[in-house]
Chain A
């Protein structure tokens, strides 16, 4: 089937199999390989992206379900000034500043989840941060510095998120979220 998905501000049209998961559409079709796959049970959050502004696990969603939606991946989080220079998102700065990553594999998912949290709750407590990261596994850092990175970002000016504000996608507004208990993606309206 054909899908049209706005990814990082660009409309992307492609032919996909019905069963293609959004994460493979991003990784294989668009070669946006910053979104990772860490599990096959919707448990690790390495694949987290924003769908119409909210964090979802892109391994838990068919590309077809994202048809007509707008997706932001880790590649679209910074503001690209020129082809070779960019302004990092405060969370990206925070992760670097506070050594919130080691191998970097969980990092895109962590940052996307955290960006969603800070949007909903700009001044989260340590407990709220830890709770928000419940669906994301990091095997390297012990989370200590990830928590600090998010706290750092929360106290530094949040620059506008580039792709959230531009070209509202034509299709009807879907809102998706990950059900906290099952990890499944549910449509909220």
Chain B
């Protein structure tokens, strides 16, 4: 397993999450969120682009960001399961964002000392973005958790539905382990304390309880996804694939 494959995993996380968030565009509960959603989608898609490009360079077979993003199928995608979960409602969407950002903020902070220049560059920018996502999504989790009866119920449902996908964030695949050994990416398991602190603080204000997760769902890093990802990629890739070799 090679370092570039670990960058693809990371890029897939960001692109797939960005796709989900972008599905809200024009359909959010209020105008401010119609602006915040594309903003968050742009942040993570921007990160994905840089990582795909870097992965392509390290692989050395001439693949650019689009070749990697548009020409792999769902068995070849390596994103974690959390990011592909459907939007469901605003509570699910904000919690998914909070979980992801709480992990990635710690991850990018640690990646500031990466042996790879590009990764170091991404880490500086993405770390700041993740801090904003934690704030934005975290404030919503608090408002909804401690809002009305209905919003609290929806927030609890989201916690129930999404928490089983959290553990996978801390796993390192063979590719990730290669990148860790090379000093390119930080060790994923080391993010636990920072993650727990962010989530614990938000949950206590949101009057939410951390659920016991008897069995964390895993599989994204080996291409074992939920059924939704295939539909997402069918949509994302349809036009690109309908015109092989065309430039856009």
Q: Do A and B bind each other?
A: no
